[in-house]
Structure 1
Amino acid sequence: MAEWDIQKLEEKYRDVWPSTFEADPDEKDKFYLNVAFPYPSGAMHVGHGRTYIVPDVVARFWRMQDKNVLFPMAFHVTGTPVIGISKRIAKGDPDTVRLYRDLYQVPEDVLARFDDPMTIVQYFAGDYERIMRRCGLSIDWRRRFITVDPQYSKYIEWQYAHLKEGEHVVKGVHPVKYCPSCDNPVGDHDLLEGEKAEIMKFTLILFEWQGAKIPCATLRPETVYGVTNLWANPEVTYLRAKVDGEEWVLSREAAYKLEMQDHTIEVTGEVSGAEIVGSTASHPLCGEVPVLPAAFVDPDMGSGLVMSVPAHAPFDYIALRDLQEQGEFTGIEPVAIITSEGYGDLPAKDAIERAGITHQLDPRMDEVTREVYGAELLHGTLLANCGDQAGKPVKQARDDVAAIMLEEYGSKVMFEFDTRDVVCRCGGRVYVKILHDQWFLQYSDPAWKAQVHRQIDEMKIVPQEVRAEFDRTVDWLKDWACTRRVGLGTKLPWDTNWIIEPLSDSTLYMAFYTIAHHIKKIEPEKLTPEVFDYIIYGTGNPTTVPKETLDLIRAEFLYWYPYNYRFSAKDLISNHLTFQLFHHRAVMEEDKQPQGMVIFGMGLLNGAKMSSSKGNVVLLDDALNEFGPDTVRMFLVGSAEPWQDFDWRNELVIGAKKQIERFWNTVSEGIAVEENDGREIDGWLISRLQHRIENTTLALQNFQTRQALQEAFFGIEADLKWYRRRLPTIAPGSAAVQELCSAWVRLLAPVVPYTSEELWHQMGHDEPVAFAPWPVADAAKIDERTELAEEFLARTVEDIESIMRIIQMKPRAVNLYVAPAWKRQVFSIIAGAADPKQAVKLVMADEGLRGKGKAAADAAKQVTKFIHRLPPELVESVAAHDLDETAVLTAAQEFLQREFNVPVRVLEAEGSGEMKADAALPFKPAIVIE
């Protein structure tokens, strides 16, 4: 028997397989699955591996179910990320150079050429494909493209012409994420940090101060009635500036941000924070208030000056309290303006004291702030000292006061992120900018949203609970800036000064996969919009491409589309996965809408989130070198269900490697010898196999890769272990084992294809295991009585072992006392009872059992407790089969004596004279060890 050598198996099959998986339309039912294509700007890590290996397991499973399976792949390179990387490398940025040279292991001569973005694209796209082939992914590589291919750009131009025709692309004025270094709007995929940053709308409340205005940014304008003071940082030098012609005092950082948000800024001078502290400012709705010192005021947040509402803002309350404990500003009292259930007059004070917080730096301050703000927003009402707003719910007053501030008190709007660190891939900081001539996808359109909600209702989504997250995303999505001035990508066809941004050009590529291998053979200039109209809709009469060619391409599109399932990570629900639903509804016909999605969890490394930028990753290529592709595959699909987070730990991966070695050795031995002697235990093994086949199939149909592996590997291995234990001598093979091995290899082929392929050929098969028929459970081979008998025997062995561990002495003999027939009757009555609490009553209602008196009542109680500890399906089986337990144990007497190396006697409990025999129950004999 040859040793398992996964590296040799990889070399043997890796380069032979790809052409095998080229899928063309035929008479079979199709199964088209796809996955979010990668952006090849860095090396693949094991998190990427899981993203592509799980769909491959599903693809291989359905291929063996005789489906015509399409699993394509492409590479997403549009936008500015790769340009930002090339700029940082060209500038010699040490962190970037270190990342690519040391972590990603890019050769020095290649890295030297990374100042050209396309060199980065070509290098990593090639590397991704190489590694995907190593992983054994059953991809149709003929359909490979990159998103800067001219043929793909023609397809995007066609898509956007239809979006504009449907009035889904409009020009407008919106706040967007913007990188001044790139002079370009940016999307989440363009960011190194802050991918989830939200743009927040603040109201700038203007306080009069020495002939100028001090703006204070707030998300809670209704709290102006409770302002007791302002905060200024005495260490900061503020600017005096004319903002839209009006004299303001604000931080330098705030002036820069406001200039990007459509305000004219003219700096007229400076004023130190120390000068502002100790003065007073005023607003008509709160009167004159002092300006107090606060080192915690950040000049990079809002305007750099803050209004203080200590009754309702925990940070303000504790800061004021700290100053007053030092004997300063003792005359300032918090002003309550909101009443909220669960709080007294001063909610901020209540929350801080409940939490036992004693200082401003307590990490729980953010939590109590959210608690108070949330309670007041949901349940708060403004008090009588709030003028016209008195009695209004906070929700309503917030919007009303904001409008009043803008209309009557000169306030302005300022946009900020909800997080500080938003960084472009070029390394520059990202700000909020107002754009005027920008093109937007109008995701705010209620009619379009309604269509997508309906699509979400109709789709299959795994796991089911993320359906609500899709609906939430649709509800809050606003208009999306879909174009950029710079970057790689397709020019907007009607306004070529703009380039379509990467999240906006990657919404219908799933349909392009179906025709990509044909389209790439056609010159780009011949791919007019009419060509794609004909292919997708069957309309028009284009003349640039022969009709027979168009008919062939359209037939392929119609065969494959819509896709059956799309696989992607849950962090893409908030953008790409939902965007593509919008675009399908706008561009594709009703019968071409997505049918299903499977949403992945995230990847962890030793319990911490994986991050390439922080170096907390295991490169996929390194993992393949160390453990081999089948080991990596088995761990990634078996350590958690796809929608759960997985945690890569080397010691657990080594465990998966050992499991595959056991599988290899067991099958190699099992197919070597045939001993067909018709033992009863052979029938049990084959009967158990039918359940393993059925359960594995059901699990994979439901995308439960971990559950499938539990059945197909661990379940079968456990059955084989018991089977071999039951044999009088170790026999490496038998007809039953060979039948099991044939099914076992096929059940594991989607997970460990290299190992299974070699074993399949060793069995004498010529065709690839990837196209072998998937095992089908045969009900005729299921022997429930034999399975029940073995379960009874195995449980008895476990009970004997448990007792021996407790007594810790060498026994002379083991006596097994079998329960009498009347106790089996008690078991059946209780098993069939609708209310187990009535067990004693039901048993004593039986005329035959009533005569047993107290013994029957005691037995009813014992049996009830025992049944509660058994799986329901086992209870049902025990009740349904009148198992002759004495015969089972007697037939296994030789096995039991071999197991425990002592005489084993099988006795009837009733009339035995042994006191402990009274404990005997159906399916649980009394055990007495001498």
Structure 2
Amino acid sequence: MKTLYSNNVVHKCLTKTFYRILCSSTGVWNEDLSTSIKHDIERKWRNKLQASVHDDDNQKSKFYVLSMFPYPSGQLHMGHVRVYTISDTMAHFYRMNGKKVIHPMGWDAFGLPAENAAIERGIEPFAWTKQNIKHMKEQLQNLGCSFEWDRELATCDPNYYHWTQFLFLKLYEEGLVYKKEALVNWDPVDQTVLADEQVDTNCCSWRSGAKVEKKLLNQWFIRTTCFSKSLLDGLDDPVLKNWRDIINLQRHWIGECNGTKFEFELEDTLSQVMKHTLTIFTCNPEYVCNASFIAVAPGSILDRLKFDCDSTVESNDVFKRLPVMAKNPFTGERLPIYVTDQVEYEEGMDCHLGIPGISEMDRLFATAANIPISSPKENSQQLNSVEDVDVARGRINHMAQKLGIGGYPCSSKLRDWLISRQRYWGTPIPIVYCKQCNGPQSVPYSELPVTLPEIERLSNWGKSPLLEATDWLNTKCPKCGGDATRETDTMDTFVDSSWYFLRYLDPHNEDMPFSKSKAAEFMPVDLYIGGKEHAVLHLYYARFMNHFLHSIGLVPYKEPFQRLLVQGMVMGQSYRIKGTGQYLPKENVDFSGPKPVEKGTGLDVVSSWEKMSKSKHNGVHPETVLKDYGIDTTRLLILADVAPTSNRHWTSDTFPGILKWQHRLWLTMRSFLNTRSNLQNIVSDTVLHTPEFKEHEARMFDSRNYYLKGVTFNYTTAFQLSVAISKMQGLTNSLRRVPSEVIGRGLQFERALACQIIVLAPMAPHFASELWSGFVSAPNRINSSTKEIKWDQGVLEQTWPEVDFNYCLELVCVINGVEKKSIRLPRQELDNLTHDDALELALSQSDLQRYTSGYKIVNTAFTLHPSYEAVINIKTERISKVKHQQMQDR
């Protein structure tokens, strides 16, 4: 079979032959549609649909549909069902629109949950993760998703994290990775560092629930702040579409890049350089040479440090002077450091650069602390103009960048990315420490990957087992060949997920993470689908990595994701005892009275819609839904009723609409087959010339085009898939209203029915394939000579229908924000409409002239949605009566 499948021509021929044989049977059309029949349909089509995913046609333009890859917990939940149904629907849609679709899947497989689960069960994390991946992959396949499994990856696979380590070393070479002692959030149960975002409002860990401690640790950081301005400016990149409020979330996270950060070395009172550095932020880097002191907030890292010398040099009620100095890297001057709350600290900062020459607050503190106020230095002469400031600022920042101590525009609140994790199950950091060589040494590229040692059983929480894996821990220094030890921290899993979308493009490359040509061909991602909970950190880190890779010439675009579709959560109805808040299973609630109460106790119960959770007893298992309703019904249920971006309340009360619609489609196909099979006995030839028949055909022409344009618009532009379903249901109602004469003899009915099945196919591919097999097997075709329908191919291989060129669409005329008129034009004219054409057409309308006569047109804007509508926006201002009369006289 491999030989046949590798030959695309032979494969297509065999497929067509097999499809004709398959369509010779009309199946069980005379039986009512049941769950059993749905399951039979899905078993029949499952493997055939998966075989249609691969496309070797490099002449097609690409479309990259990416859904955020899941953590392999072992079980899909309804949130997974929703996001992957959306992505699969969009992938099918763009394939049918002639695109070469990239639709991959993989696993975000490292991290604490797998390690903790392995400890609890006494097994090795890789074994636990591998079995979870196997089970979840089967579940996704059972959902009918058309993923390209030959692109599959898992971040815990050495073939993947080899290249995560490669990218770490690239960052290290560019000076974008450093190690520094930092005051961090420490989870005493999970025994690891937590990011600020992993700590709740009660200062408890998001996973273990333990009270978080503050701890000083030497940690690895990535200098994401170096790309702050690039990342902020990137949010205005025209490549970004449909980002909506995510733009504001990213802006807020990055902050206004109105200052600069520098690293100052610390010296103790004996002028000995310490291992610590101090990160300084200032909005006035051009005056950094005039700094006289540094202030740090009480409780900050410097305030907590234990010094070898006396604890303080000087103190009073206003300040405490520390026995350390900060060396100004630009002047060499040693600046005193004071712990005080008498100065204002920038948002997110616990230190302040005191420049009394430009700040009254700094001058007052310097006077109170008897600090000599520095005179202007050579690098910071009097600045008399904006140009002077810009030149001086540029010079200082350039010097800092050359010294590797900062100098990049950023906000005060943005932090560098802390990537150290003190656990086993993560990507090893490719660094070793040698007693002979100064500082950390990077592992050579040729020795990657640094793989995790095999540990059969993780005994308990506590120190990382890497500290005790002596055979792995002890190694040789790549610089001098002497004895060395490996870094035992592993990387934050956000590092693994910051570039996975690029590896998908070239998953089997053994020489590089991905080839530049593949990145140039398929990037950026055209549509990225995932939850809003990842719309800040993951998106920020992925954007940073792509900006970095662009800076070293590996990817063609700075921004990795063109369009975002941020789907809402699937919510379940929960029940709690009023007063105690205890969650109850639904079966423990008595609904027979005027208000719900707990069975047995009679205690009042309150209900609400919340994110599905086992602890809240409001979850629904996808496998149960699939068993009860079938794959395609489940897919339609998860897409229906609300927009993908809104939360979906999962309740069986909303199910009847979809179930009845599927049944109506089934009845429509039954009626079509029966009528076409007995055409001579049901419909005479004379009916074609009656006014009633022509009227019905005209209505079917209008219905096909009207609902098709709405469905297509909601697939391509609005992403309102629930509205697309409503439009399809409208078309079904039109098909159900026509008499048997039109079913048997109507060309427009046949076209509309074909259109109905084709536009359904991305959402319900198995059910649509069965409907299509009935449609193409029906005798007495009317439209058989046209190229509009590929009669010998499956529904997913059909070309997406088009609105007819002679069907009239609307040019919407909006004046001062109010829609005043819609002008109907044939599609052929509307699709070619320009801004000037639309404006001229609008101004020529007599009933619009009363809104423009006596007014001056201030500006206009034109939007064209091909095959749907065009909008001309006109803004006007009233001209005075005198001027108006003068204009008329002229």
TM-score, with length taken from structure 1: 0.52
In structure 2, the residue matched to 1:119 is 127
In 2: Cα distance, 1:173 partner to 1:712 partner: 59
Task: Work out whether 1:742 is the aligned partner of 2:754.
Answer: yes
* Structure 2 counterpart of 1:691, from 687, 702, 706: 706
Query: Is the CA contact 1:565–1:596 (under 8 Å) kept in the aligned structure 2?
Result: yes
**Aligned equivalent of 1:717:** 732
CA-based RMSD: 3.1
Alpha-carbon offset, residue 559 of structure 1: 2.6
Equivalent of residue 205 in structure 2, options 422, 434, 443: 422
**1:782-801 superposed matches below 5 A:** none
* Residue 499 (structure 2) aligns with: 508
Point out the structure with the larger strand share.
2
Which residue identity is paired with 2:217? H
Which among 627, 636, 639 is matched to residue 637 of structure 1?
Answer: 639
Matches of 1:761 and 1:720, distance apart in 2: 18
Deviation at residue 65 of structure 1 after TM alignment: 0.3
Deviation at 1:712, TM superposition (A): 3.8
Please show how residues 25-424 of structure 1 align to structure 2 within 5 Å.
26-89=58-121, 115-186=123-194, 196=197, 418-424=201-207
2:772 matched to which residue of 1? 760
Indicate if the aligned counterparts of 1:25 and 1:559 stay in contact, CA closer than 8 A. Answer: no
Q: Structure 1 CA distance, aligned partners of 2:766 and 2:850?
A: 51
Mapping for residues 770-785 of structure 1, pairs under 5 Å = 770-780=796-806
Shift of 1:581: 0.5
Q: After TM superposition, give the deviation of residue 735 of structure 1 in Å.
A: 3.0
- For residues 728 and 119 of structure 1, the distance between their equivalents in structure 2, rounded to whole angstroms, comes to 61
**TM-score, structure 2 length as denominator?**
0.54
Partners of 2:715 and 2:724 within 8 A in 1: no
Residue in 1 aligned with 2:549? 587
One-letter amino acid of the counterpart of residue 145, structure 1: L
Shift, 1:671, TM fit? 4.8
Do residues 467 (structure 1) and 467 (structure 2) align? no
Q: Deviations over 1:689-745 (max 9, x none)?
A: 112212211211125243552454222123335x43xx5989677433221111110
Aligned pair 1:623/2:603, yes or no?
Answer: no
- Counterpart in the other structure of 1:19: 51
Query: Is 1:437 aligned to residue 218 of structure 2?
Result: yes
Judged with a 3 Å threshold, the aligned counterparts in structure 2 of structure 1 residues 729 and 762 are, in CA distance, closer, same or farther, namely closer
Q: In structure 1, the residue corresponding to 2:659 is in which secondary structure?
A: helix
Match of 2:229 among 438, 446, 450: 450
Distance 1:23 1:483, change over 3 A: farther
Relative to 1, partners in 2 of residues 1:654 and 1:86: Cα closer, same or farther, differing over 3 Å? farther
Task: Quote the offset at 1:624 in angstroms.
Answer: 1.0
Alignment of 1:589-604 (within 5 A): 589=553, 591-592=556-557, 593-594=559-560, 595-604=562-571
User: What is the distance in 2 between the residues matched to 1:730 and 1:66?
Assistant: 32
Structure 2 Cα separation of the partners of residues 667 and 509 of structure 1: 44
**Separation in 2 of the partners of 1:499 and 1:138?**
34
Which runs of 5 or more structure 2 residues have no equivalent in the other structure?
Answer: 1-28, 256-412, 433-486, 574-608, 677-682, 777-790, 811-843, 855-868, 873-890
1:690–1:782 contact (8 Å) kept in structure 2: no
Amino acid at match of 1:582: F
State the SS of the aligned residue for 2:184: strand
Report the Cα offset of residue 490 of structure 1.
Answer: 1.8
For residues 851-866 of structure 1, the aligned pairs below 5 Å read none
Alignment partners' CA distance in 2, 1:603 and 1:627: 18
2:154 match: secondary structure: coil
Paired residue secondary structure (1:507): coil
Following superposition, the deviation at residue 477 of structure 1 comes to 4.1
Cα deviation for residue 428 of structure 1 reads 6.1
How much does 1:52 deviate? 0.9
Shift of 1:498: 2.1
Deviation per residue, 1:429-457 (Å, 9 max, x gap): 251433432102233x2x41111122222
Q: Retained in 1: the 8 A contact 2:85–2:145?
A: yes
Partner AA of 1:127 in structure 2 = H
Gap regions ≥5 residues in structure 1: 91-114, 189-195, 199-416, 520-526, 538-554, 785-827, 839-872, 877-930
Residue type at the aligned position of 2:556: D
The Cα shift of 1:197 comes to: 5.0
Q: CA deviation at 1:560?
A: 2.1
Shift of 1:513: 0.4
The aligned amino acid for 2:227 is: W
> Partner amino acid for 1:418?
T
SS across alignment from 1:616:
coil
- For residues 733 and 754 of structure 1, the distance between their equivalents in structure 2, rounded to whole angstroms, comes to 28
CA contact (8 A) 1:423 1:430 kept: no
Assess if the C-alpha contact under 8 Å between 1:462 and 1:599 holds in 2: no
Could you say which structure has the larger radius of gyration?
A: 1
Q: CA deviation at 1:24?
A: 4.2
Equivalent residue for 1:575? 537
Q: CA deviation at 1:668?
A: 3.5
Distance in 2 (CA, whole Å) between partners of 1:83 and 1:449 is 34
CA drift at 1:162: 1.7
Q: How far apart are 1:152 and its partner, in Å?
A: 0.2
Instruction: Give the distance between the partners of 1:33 and 1:729, measured in 2 at CA.
Output: 43
Query: Counterparts of 2:666 and 2:117 in 1: how far apart (Å)?
Result: 45
Aligned to 2:884: none
* Contact 1:670/1:738 (8 A) holds in 2: no
Shift of the alpha carbon at 1:128?
1.5
Q: Counterparts of 2:132 and 2:215 in 1: how far apart (Å)?
A: 35
CA contact under 8 A between 2:220 and 2:418: conserved in structure 1? yes
Moved more, 122-131 or 667-676: 667-676
Q: In the superposition, relative to structure 1, how do residues 515 and 835 fare at CA in structure 2: closer, same or farther (>3 Å)? A: closer
Amino acid at match of 2:700: L
Q: Is the 8 A contact 1:46 1:623 kept in 2?
A: no
Specify the code of the residue in structure 1 equivalent to 2:620. V
2:416 is aligned, of 434, 456, 479, to: 479
Q: Is the 8 A contact 1:671 1:733 kept in 2?
A: no
C-alpha displacement of 1:775: 0.3
Task: Tell me which moved more, 156-165 or 589-598.
Answer: 589-598
Partner of residue 751, structure 1: 763
1:398 alignment counterpart: none
Q: Indicate if the aligned counterparts of 1:684 and 1:783 stay in contact, CA closer than 8 A.
A: no
CA–CA distance in structure 1, aligned partners of residues 250 and 845 of structure 2: 49
- Inter-partner Cα distance in structure 2 for 1:477 and 1:602: 29
**Cα gap change, 1:694 to 1:118, in 2 (>3 Å):** same
Matched residue, 1:532:
512
CA distance 1:730–1:18, change in 2 (3 Å): closer
Identity %: 22
Residue type at the aligned position of 1:466 = I
Partner of 1:563: 525
- The yes-or-no answer on 1:488 pairing with 2:463 is no
2:18 pairs with 1:10: no
Deviation, 1:126, is: 1.5
472 and 49 in structure 1: CA distance in 2 versus 1, 3 angstrom threshold: same
Shift of 1:58: 0.9
Equivalents in 1 of 2:218, 2:670: separation in Å?
69
Residue correspondences, number? 512
**Which whole-Å CA distance do the structure 2 matches of 1:687 and 1:730 have between them?**
15
Matches of 1:831 and 1:85, distance apart in 2: 72
